Structure 1
Amino acid sequence: MSSEARMSRKICFLVWFLIVWGSCWGRFVVEKNSLKVTSPDTLKGVYQCAIGNFGIPQYGGTMVGFVTYPKTNRKACKSFHEFDISFKVKPGGFPTFILIDRGDCYFTTKAWNAQNAGAAAILVADDKEEPLITMDTPEEESVRGDYLQNISIPSALISKSFGDGLKKALVDGEMVSVNLDWRESLPHPDDRVEYELWTNSNDECGPKCDSQIDFVRTFKGAAQILEKKGYTQFTPHYITWYCPEVFILSKQCKSQCINHGRYCAPDPEQDFSKGYDGRDVVIQNLRQVCLFKVANESGKPWLWWDYVTDFSIRCPMKDKKYTKECAEDVINTLGVDLKKVNSCIGDPEADEDNPMLKAEQDAQIGKKSRGDVTILPTLVINSRQYRGKLDKSAVLKAICAGFQETTEPAVCLNEDIQTNECLENNGGCWKDKEANISACKDTFRGRVCECPVVNGVKFVGDGYTHCKASGSGRCDINNGGCWKGSKDGTSFSACAEYQENGCKCPLGFKGDGVKTCEDVNECKEKIACQCRDCKCKNTWGSYECSCRGDLLYMAEHDTCISKKASAELSWSFLWLIFLGLAVAGVGGYAVYKYRIRSYMDSEIRAIMAQYMPLDSHGEAPTTRTHHADI
């Protein structure tokens, strides 16, 4: 193994060591909800349980059900279908909560198997007496992670002693009825909810990154309504790490960090030899922080949601568009002051603290009831860390649970609303002002930039910077997005119906066909009127040819001839025609007379033949009779 490869592995190990160290020794707070047992009497009371970092907790609500303890597969590490066990209930029945033993497999595996068997919730009994912990999701590298985002049932970890009590009651044949209560899981001190999202601009970290991007897109509409009406105060945050001083000058550290090792991010692909580097992620994270700062100062903090959504669509790493240029294009379409954003970013090469990223690192340290932020993504609501899946409806319920009773905004009561983002700056989407056609569409999830269909004509494009009419009828709408010009009562267009797509300058013009079509000077470029005595005059979109002196231009031969010779030639030609016609007339008359006479002769001969022999017939033989003399 080369020395560079060994160094690369050391850096990777060190980065992950810092992450693990922060998770183990940082200030971590376990978020809890209550579980109330209503029967049997021996277990009646309220118990605490820890909310898992997966599934969908019912923040602000409750769930009532019966507890069951399976006879086999009690750790739920295998599918219950293998044992022909189902926990589904008939319509109208109480939900089933499965009591599962801890150990032997991931918490998420237990929850997934329980959900597939029809369980409404899962209670995991600890296998030793200890303070409650948060059941977390495994790293995608160590387990197949495609099912993690599909876990929808709530989960809770209970103490060993409480679990033993539930098991004994169930073995004794008691019916155990419980009520999971999340109503006080989040504080609600006033009529405004403050929440923050710790996220990352990296989009190459597998299902976890995909989940973050999808959440931002789907939650954007509700978030912007809450923010615009003053119901919430949202703040985005980004985690960065520092490079140990001993490695600051290393190639790997320079590729992962900015400001001389002060702010670093892991390599997106975990491969230093390809793709983007960690420093690219840090700079984009910083750009998103600065955009929020500038937008917030202008009174429009909700533009952060538009920028992050549009950047993920227009500038993904997989398309090699994760660049400064692409990011600035998105910023310009949203109408945010780009100069202020760049000024906030500063110089990534400077050997000094960056005020924005320094504040982000300080904010990672836990305060009050909130623990240290060490994992991504992390959602904090009213200084309490949200547990569960990043799902639009689940997060909206959690935020709404942060309002005091009876002070919830309408969005908490009815999700069927429109965001009307297209009313301002056209939502940052493409728009043809002349034809009043827009690619902006409002949905509850927020606006989308999608090329429209107008009068049966489909527009194609990215929806952000351009849309073009396509197919039949496209020239009837804004001339198909092509060039069109008029001069001296003559009009030309670069759009033609026979062209399925695109614009092409008409004959006599040159250009891109979209913005420009310039007249071709056929005379200057010697395209026409090439004969020796020809004169050429350029016109808009065409040309005119003539001849010098007393000459006549013949276009079909591109030549000049004498007008006099032409006249003589013309009269000779006419006399020749007249003579030919006369000869043809006399000849035709003679043939006609001959045929008429021949016809009459034959008719007369046929008639006379009926009454007398003709020369053409043989004479009839005669019979002579000899008489005797008298």
Structure 2
Amino acid sequence: MELRRFLLVGFVLLSVIGNCYARFVVEKNSLMVTSPEKIKGTHDSAIGNFGIPQYGGSMAGAVIYPKENRKGCKGFDEFGISFQSKPGALPTFVLLDRGDCFFALKVWNAQKAGASAVLVADDIEEALITMDTPEEDTSSAKYLENITIPSALIEKTFGETLKKAISGGEMVNVNLDWREAVPHPDDRVEYELWTNSNDECGVKCDMLMEFVKDFKGAAQILEKGGYTQFTPHYITWYCPQAFTLSRQCKSQCINHGRYCAPDPEQDFSSGYDGKDVVLENLRQLCVFRVANETNKPWLWWDYVTDFQIRCPMKEKKYNKECADDVIKSLGLDGKNIEKCMGDPYADADNPVLKEEQDAQVGKGSRGDVTILPTLVVNNRQYRGKLAKGAVLKAICSGFEETTEPAVCLSGDVETNECLENNGGCWQDKIANLTACKDTFRGRVCECPLVDGVQFRGDGYSHCEASGPGRCKINNGGCWHGSRDGHAYSACLGIGDSKCQCPPGFKGDGVKSCEDVDECNEKKACQCPECSCKNTWGSYECTCSGDLLYIRDHDTCISKSGTEVRSAWAAVWVIVIGLAMAAGGAYLVYKYRLRSYMDSEIRAIMAQYMPLDSQAEVPNHVSEDRA
């Protein structure tokens, strides 16, 4: 026990010596109070290191502060309390007080009672800390791996504000936001897993081994596609100088106390030693390096999973011989791996493990790696349960929105928000069109592009096809219908023209076009001999006897074409009559005008000379005779 304490002190000293600015970083997410108005605002909260945080997303809920069992150390069913939200209501976030029991136990009890998330209010004024999993014991092992809801620690002052509002009868709604918990600086996500080859360290080791097996497929898909860059890491301690020659240090360390690991069984006299773990950790590091040199870094996942299955400690196969068989089966170069591992008995630094110890110290925005196992995504330490779906969410949140690979949208990672109520976006159920596009961070309402035709609109309530070819896609969003072998569409098919009901219909052209009754509205078939029958979108007109209907002129003619018996013929008779009357009037006018002009001229000329054809005109002037 004393040596284990010294080994831990050695690691702490290593961290301080390696970097005077090294520290443990508390990973946070944003918590926004949305109501009531008087306490609206955004606060930091520390992500719990268990359960499943919703990396890349957010969650809204109503906060409840129970009247009993406020520390959550007992099952809420003992008090008849349920946090199950009612249909249509916001999920329930339970506010609990810190103290008296493990953080994880509080969250587990709230989850069993129906809570969707847990907020733990600190009981002292201090900077936020990370709520970690408890040390292994029989009771915690039963519930630890079954916690699936997110949790966060909030500061004491903020917790008191929430409690005061709730006790005053206020409806307190908050939004937990993890969308910026992982940065996304470029189009590739870099992540690392601080792990251990020891498979006998209890529930944490079991969870780690199970995760590696489950995550292997997704990890290799991401790596082979060039979407991610993965690096495995292994924590080691060193033995204080005063104990390097002790039996304990010799059994737990290699390279004269420089690189150590705890005894797997916590028993120095039997079973495997810590140095066996250090050697296998070193081997796995070298497997990764050799595989990476051949541009197949994903083989690390194959080696680790195969080694877990084929070489477990409980079957006494955790040794070099079994490891060599796995290496050979994967086609890796065993000699290069041995060369990479170096001499574990040399009183000198091992370059590979020395690099690992340097990496344990926090750099930049990342703090020291002190929790095992630890996942680091884009230089941010992941907090939460090591489970395939949860970890993949965290990794995928490191991609820019809409650029994430297909594996990020697989069923066990992302729930398709477009499946429920179409994500609240526009849709055309008849044509099976939707503006809802599912992304890792949530749905986006964008009018679709279908067969080269772009739909335009706000994406939420309206989308319509535009441009050439628009009528080919759902009739351009216009009305269309078919009946009795006839089909009609209100889409004009000209650029972005609006919808217009075709001839024979009336309406807005979008939602409806109703048949026009041409017969009832006397728009057609009006000749005396015609008989009208309305049809959908048109009409039928027939003539009595052996007459033939001419649709363009709305008239009936004999089939021989020699007799016109219609209103149209009468019109022509009237027109011709009027023309003849006009012509006659014109001739009469010309005759009278000419007669008048002729008499006038003759009268004038008679004054100067007699005309042969008329009598002498008497002289009315008096003359004197001589």
Smaller-chain TM-score range?
A: 0.5 to 0.7
Alignment partner of 1:15 is 2:11: no
Return the match for 1:208 from 194, 204, 210: 204
Q: Answer yes or no: is the 8 Å Cα contact 1:19–1:374 preserved in 2.
A: no
Alignment partner of 1:410 is 2:402: no
Q: Which amino acid aligns with 1:120?
A: S
Shift of 1:272: 0.6
Return the match for 1:222 from 215, 218, 222: 218
Shift of 1:15: 2.2
**In structure 1, distance between residues paired with 2:13 and 2:351:** 25
Deviation per CA, 1:186-233: give whole Å up to 9, x if none.
Answer: 100010000000000000001000000000000000000000010000
Return the match for 1:137 from 127, 130, 133: 133
Q: Answer yes or no: is the 8 Å Cα contact 1:87–1:117 preserved in 2.
A: yes
Give runs of aligned pairs for residues 373-392 of structure 1, distance below 5 A: 373-392=369-388
Partner of 1:31: 27
Return the match for 2:83 from 83, 87, 95: 87
Partner of 1:322: 318
Return the match for 2:57 from 58, 61, 70: 61
Give runs of aligned pairs for residues 206-285 of structure 1, distance below 5 A: 206-285=202-281
SS at match of 1:72: coil
Shift of 1:415: 4.4
Q: Answer yes or no: is the 8 Å Cα contact 2:105–2:140 preserved in 1.
A: no
SS at match of 1:221: helix
Give runs of aligned pairs for residues 163-182 of structure 1, distance below 5 A: 163-182=159-178
Q: Which amino acid aligns with 2:320?
A: K
Shift of 1:92: 3.2
Shift of 1:302: 0.2
In structure 2, do the counterparts of structure 1 residues 173 and 21 end up closer, same or farther at CA, with 3 Å as the change threshold? farther
Superposition TM-score, scaled by structure 2 size:
0.64
Alignment partner of 1:117 is 2:113: yes
Deviation per CA, 1:17-52: give whole Å up to 9, x if none.
Answer: 445777999511111111111110011111111101
Superposition TM-score, scaled by structure 1 size:
0.63
Return the match for 1:159 from 130, 148, 155: 155
SS at match of 1:253: helix
Q: Answer yes or no: is the 8 Å Cα contact 2:8–2:237 preserved in 1.
A: no
Q: Which amino acid aligns with 1:396?
A: L
Partner of 2:539: none
In structure 2, do the counterparts of structure 1 residues 33 and 266 end up closer, same or farther at CA, with 3 Å as the change threshold? same
Shift of 1:162: 1.1
**In structure 1, distance between residues paired with 2:166 and 2:183:** 34
Return the match for 2:145 from 146, 149, 160: 149
**In structure 2, distance between residues paired with 1:244 and 1:209:** 26
**In structure 1, distance between residues paired with 2:5 and 2:223:** 41
Shift of 1:93: 2.7
**In structure 2, distance between residues paired with 1:389 and 1:120:** 16
Partner of 2:537: none
Shift of 1:404: 1.1
Partner of 2:97: 101
Partner of 1:296: 292
In structure 2, do the counterparts of structure 1 residues 232 and 260 end up closer, same or farther at CA, with 3 Å as the change threshold? same
Partner of 1:471: none
Q: Which amino acid aligns with 2:295?
A: G
- Tell me the number of residue pairs that the alignment of Structure 1 and Structure 2 aligns: 409
**In structure 1, distance between residues paired with 2:266 and 2:360:** 23
Partner of 1:341: 337
**In structure 2, distance between residues paired with 1:39 and 1:84:** 28
Q: Answer yes or no: is the 8 Å Cα contact 1:23–1:374 preserved in 2.
A: no
**In structure 2, distance between residues paired with 1:67 and 1:350:** 59
Deviation per CA, 1:75-120: give whole Å up to 9, x if none.
Answer: 1111101101111123433210001111111111110110111100
Q: Answer yes or no: is the 8 Å Cα contact 2:60–2:91 preserved in 1.
A: yes
Deviation per CA, 1:516-537: give whole Å up to 9, x if none.
Answer: xxxxxxxxxxxxxxxxxxxxxx
Q: Which amino acid aligns with 1:391?
A: A
**In structure 2, distance between residues paired with 1:214 and 1:142:** 19
Q: Which amino acid aligns with 1:15?
A: L
Partner of 2:187: 191
Give runs of aligned pairs for residues 342-381 of structure 1, distance below 5 A: 342-381=338-377
Q: Which deviates the most, 125-134 or 187-196?
A: 125-134
Q: Which amino acid aligns with 2:245?
A: L
Q: Answer yes or no: is the 8 Å Cα contact 1:65–1:96 preserved in 2.
A: yes
Shift of 1:251: 1.3
In structure 2, do the counterparts of structure 1 residues 369 and 256 end up closer, same or farther at CA, with 3 Å as the change threshold? same
Deviation per CA, 1:158-206: give whole Å up to 9, x if none.
Answer: 1111111111111111111111110001100010000000000000001
Shift of 1:10: 2.9
**In structure 2, distance between residues paired with 1:12 and 1:99:** 37
In structure 2, do the counterparts of structure 1 residues 277 and 162 end up closer, same or farther at CA, with 3 Å as the change threshold? same
Partner of 1:525: none
The two structures, once aligned, show a CA RMSD in angstroms of: 1.7
**In structure 2, distance between residues paired with 1:66 and 1:74:** 17
Partner of 1:555: none
Q: Answer yes or no: is the 8 Å Cα contact 1:257–1:264 preserved in 2.
A: yes
Deviation per CA, 1:598-627: give whole Å up to 9, x if none.
Answer: xxxxxxxxxxxxxxxxxxxxxxxxxxxxxx
**In structure 2, distance between residues paired with 1:77 and 1:20:** 32
Partner of 2:308: 312
Q: Which amino acid aligns with 1:264?
A: C
Partner of 2:565: none
SS at match of 2:193: strand
Shift of 1:142: 8.7
Q: Answer yes or no: is the 8 Å Cα contact 2:121–2:154 preserved in 1.
A: yes
**In structure 2, distance between residues paired with 1:52 and 1:358:** 31
Q: Which amino acid aligns with 1:370?
A: R
SS at match of 2:2: helix
**In structure 2, distance between residues paired with 1:141 and 1:258:** 30
**In structure 1, distance between residues paired with 2:88 and 2:125:** 37
Q: Answer yes or no: is the 8 Å Cα contact 1:22–1:374 preserved in 2.
A: no
In structure 2, do the counterparts of structure 1 residues 19 and 86 end up closer, same or farther at CA, with 3 Å as the change threshold? farther
**In structure 2, distance between residues paired with 1:20 and 1:10:** 15
**In structure 1, distance between residues paired with 2:371 and 2:10:** 12
In structure 2, do the counterparts of structure 1 residues 325 and 393 end up closer, same or farther at CA, with 3 Å as the change threshold? same
Q: Which amino acid aligns with 1:13?
A: R
Shift of 1:141: 4.4
Identify unmatched segments of 5+ residues in structure 2. 414-626
SS at match of 1:188: coil
Percent identity of paired positions between Structure 1 and Structure 2: 72
Partner of 2:555: none
Deviation per CA, 1:129-149: give whole Å up to 9, x if none.
Answer: 211111111111496323111
Q: Answer yes or no: is the 8 Å Cα contact 1:197–1:378 preserved in 2.
A: yes
Q: Which amino acid aligns with 1:409?
A: P
Deviation per CA, 1:230-254: give whole Å up to 9, x if none.
Answer: 0000000000111111111111111
Q: Answer yes or no: is the 8 Å Cα contact 1:53–1:388 preserved in 2.
A: yes
